[in-house]
Amino acid sequence: MDSSVTSTDRTTVAAPTSASVFIPSPVTPYQGDIARYWDHEARPVNLRLGDVDGLYHHHYGIGDVDHAALGRPEDSAYEKKLIAELHRLESAQVELLLDHLGDIERDDTLVDAGCGRGGSMVMAHQRFGCKVEGVTLSAKQADFGNRRARELGIQDHVQARVRNMLDMPFESGQTAASWNNESSMYVDLHDLFAEHSRVLRAGGHYVTITGCWNPRYGQPSKWVSQINAHFECNIHSRREYLRAMADNRLVPQAVIDLTPDTLPYWELRATSSLVTGIEEAFINSYKDGSFQYVLIAADRI
Ligand SMILES: C[S@@+](CC[C@H](N)C(=O)[O-])C[C@H]1O[C@@H](n2cnc3c(N)ncnc32)[C@H](O)[C@@H]1O
């Protein structure tokens, strides 16, 4: 890599922060873009939902909307209830992911690759009582997650680091389970699954929840291209996921199409004041079959 690129990336990607140590691994200009994207991200649709109970997510929701809990749109408390309902659905998504991690003991370690502000890590620790290590490219996110862990008094168990998930700072074969929650569309899948396979112990579990383009549609639709441009990401196909897993000792034991389960979240979000403009692309691509929301759980053999 050109050294000028490396030094530029180090100063912008790894703005010195108190809690998060950035030990540079090969960082590409693209990863610098993604770090900057998440360092500057402060969308109400993420922060106001996290404010509901202190679990900050950067992903979407699943499950039916509880219309009784929402009440009527003309009620003054409706917007607050809508935010709480969207947040309930995004935490339900994490619960489903955690359901697929297998039997986790208190002395196990879990890895959240692309951990964002750490909501999934906190939920995993609260469920299993174990250690949870996260990596993100964003120093702001890692600091945020570590601050939340300190506030909750779980900083000895939950820690986020500014690291590249293709080169994680964990020993080989020591991780009981690992996951990507809507973070695998930023990397090459072969590189990603090789790294998960390295850190996971034999018999461990890997889970991803992700949007993927549907090979049955043919190629990425215009909606999928719009989503890629919006998030500066590169959505993979379902076929690529399965192929890259098979090549890296990750054998799928569950592939769940969550598309019908996530549509209620998007349709509710599209009616709210928190819209970001990308809602139509998600709803249309889920409906025309070009895009799918899936959970894939695999055994590390
Ligand atoms: C859509 S957010 C998801 C955050 C979190 N998993 C959640 O569910 O709330 C995508 C995350 O992937 C992270 N990410 C993208 N590429 C990465 C890489 N190469 N290494 C580490 N993290 C990465 C970003 O920093 C960001 O935290």
Task: Output the tens digit of pLDDT for each of the chain's 301 residues.
Answer: 333 223 233 333 344 344 455 545 547 999 999 999 999 987 777 788 999 999 999 999 999 999 999 999 999 999 999 999 999 999 999 999 999 999 999 999 999 999 999 999 999 999 999 999 999 999 999 999 999 999 999 999 999 999 999 999 999 999 999 999 999 999 999 999 999 999 999 999 999 999 999 999 999 999 999 999 999 999 999 999 999 999 999 999 999 999 999 999 999 999 998 899 999 999 999 999 999 999 999 999 9
Give the mutation target among 22, 30, 34 for probing the ligand 1 site: most ligand atoms within 8 A of CB: 34
Contact assessment for residue 184 and residue 248, using Cβ atoms and an 8 Å cutoff: no
Q: What single DSSP character describes residue 28? A: -
Which CATH entry fits the domain spanning 3-300: 3.40.50.150, 3.30.70.100, 1.20.120.1760, 3.40.50.720?
Answer: 3.40.50.150
Tokens found for residue 167: 């080169």
Residue nearest atom 16 of ligand 1, based on CA coordinates: 186
Place of tokens 């993927």: 212
Tell me the whole-structure pTM to 2 decimals. 0.92
> Where are the domains positioned within the chain?
3-300
Q: Which 3 state secondary structure label does DSSP give 175?
A: strand
Contact assessment for residue 38 and residue 137, using Cβ atoms and an 8 Å cutoff: yes
Give the mutation target among 23, 47, 90, 137 for probing the ligand 1 site: most ligand atoms within 8 A of CB: 137
